[in-house]
Amino acid sequence: MSVASPTQPVSKPAVAVPRLAVDRLRDYVELSRPRIALMVLVTVAMGYLLGQRGGWDWGTLAHAAIGILLVAAGSSAVNQWLERDTDALMRRTHNRSLPAGRLQPAEVFTVGFSWAVLGAVYLAVNVNLLTAALTALTFVLYAWVYTPLKRCTSLCTAVGAIPGAMPPVLGWTASGQPLDLTAFALFGLLFFWQFPHFLAIAWLHRDDYKAAGLRMLPGGCPLPGVTGLMALGYALGLIPVSLVPAWLGVAGNLYALAAVVLGLLYVASAAWFAYAETRASARRVLWISLVYLPLVLGWLAADHTRLLFGAGWS
């Protein structure tokens, strides 16, 4: 029987256990789509800020953020559970935890659905019933209506834009405000903003979507110029929609000016995409959309605060 030399390295299998746990935790974090969750929380916070009428209740905002984050994470998990077979057919998604086999479908569904239910109940107990109901509706529309429709009709893009436009409304109602014209104005702003953004993504990945059998706008073989023209139409429509908060008195002329300038920048990128549908022009629309949203919401929040507290800017 051979005896190991004292100089030979001794294997330490126990080290693999925490390593496995870290990898598993990373898969669950990716399952929740943290970048999308962060954008959701930012827009929720903006809606909450706009709903303030003097006093600040940071505790309610924290409770709203926790509950909505749980539902958003649950929505992403259930979405990936439903799309695990089509994700396996696309280059951009084939390495996700489910198609790659790192997580099992039953556990992903159980965890995702539990997150969503827990988040809705948490909101009902700690925020208010209206916010809880709207957040639950957002989960249902995203996971159980939009996701299955992606296999059936290109109208899924319009349906998916509804839950996508809900986060600032959830922040608004979490602050104690009703579903009024301001809530619909915030909804409209995000609803119109999404179309050039997602049309650019869909055009860039149209071959992937076609291979997976997903009927996302603009489709697998769109007519030249159609996708860009659609993006341009929604970008143009976004400008008057973005001015509604100023018309309602939620913000003033500073916001209106910023909304027009940023809207024209968005229109210019969409117009270039319509003129020349290339990967470069599609990416330009995508990146400008990501610049537009935080800036326009930031100006909206800042101008609302200026009006609320009567602070003059020189």
Alpha helices in 51-88 (DSSP H): 58-82, 84-87
DSSP reduced 3-state for 237:
helix
The predicted structure's pLDDT at residue 302: 92
Residue 5 has which token pair?
A: 């030399």
Query: Using CA atoms, how far apart are residues 237 and 162, in angstroms rounded to an integer?
Result: 16
Query: Using CA atoms, how far apart are residues 197 and 190, in angstroms rounded to an integer?
Result: 11
pTM beyond 0.75: yes
**What pLDDT, in 10s, does the model give residues 184-218?**
999 999 999 999 999 999 899 888 888 888 877 66
37, amino acid identity: A
Nearest to 93 by CA among 103, 84, 81: 84
> Would you tell me how many other CB atoms lie within 10 Å of the CB of residue 181?
12
The predicted structure's pLDDT at residue 5: 46
Q: How far apart are the first and last CA of the chain?
A: 87
* Long-range contacts, stretch 96-99, CB < 8 angstroms, 24+ apart: 96/30, 97/27, 97/28, 97/30, 97/31
Q: Homologous superfamily of 30-177 in CATH?
A: UbiA prenyltransferase (1.10.357.140)
Query: Which residues have a Cβ under 8 Å from the Cβ of 86 and sit 6 or more positions away?
Result: 93, 150, 151, 212, 213, 214
Q: What angle do CA 237, 241, 243 make, to 5 degrees?
A: 125
274 burial type by CB count under 10 A (0-12 exposed, 13-18 middle, 19+ buried):
buried
Asked if 191 and 169 touch (Cβ cutoff 8 Å), the reply is: no
Regions of the chain with pLDDT less than 70: 1-19, 54-55, 217-223, 311-314
The predicted structure's pLDDT at residue 239: 98
The predicted structure's pLDDT at residue 223: 65
4 DSSP assignment: -
Going from N- to C-terminal start, the domains of the chain cover: 30-177, 180-314
Phi first, then psi, for residue 282 (nearest 5°) are: -65, -45
For residue 218, whether the previous peptide bond is cis, meaning omega lies within 30 degrees of 0, is yes
Instruction: Taking each helix axis as running N to C, give the angle between helix 34-50 and helix 181-204, from 0 to 180 degrees, rounded to the nearest 10.
Output: 160
Q: What angle do CA 24, 26, 31 make, to 5 degrees?
A: 95
